[in-house]
Amino acid sequence: MEKNMVLETSFSDNKFTTETMKYIINKVNAPMRIVCRYYSQVLEKNVSVRQGWLLTEAQTTFLAGVLPMEMPFAVRALMFAWFVVAVKKCKKSGV
């Protein structure tokens, strides 16, 4: 005895899912857009959300490497390498 189930989807369900995801992404990115406006004012050029994330990453890696006073040298070297990579990403993106 076999049981076969047919699952149907409609275009309206997919459209609802797509619109819901766009809504969620817009709500999550809202604080980042505020940060990007701040970066745009400071740098006097338009900063995209991607560039804003890259700038935030560079600042975070710098602070994570500088603020802890007692940190093993190897960890500090890894933080410095991460900072260099983050700055290169920023330069590559045009910031």
At residue 7, does pLDDT exceed 90?
Answer: no
- Model confidence pLDDT, tens digit, residues 30-56: 999 999 999 999 999 999 999 999 999
* Cα–Cα distance, 8 to 19 (Å, whole number): 20
Q: What separation in angstroms does the CA of 88 have from each of 1, 51, 58?
A: 63, 12, 9
* Cα–Cα distance, 22 to 8 (Å, whole number): 23
The answer to whether the pTM exceeds 0.75 is no
The whole-number pLDDT of residue 56 equals: 94
What's the whole-number average pLDDT of the chain?
87
* Token pair belonging to 3: 């049981």
The whole-number pLDDT of residue 8 equals: 66
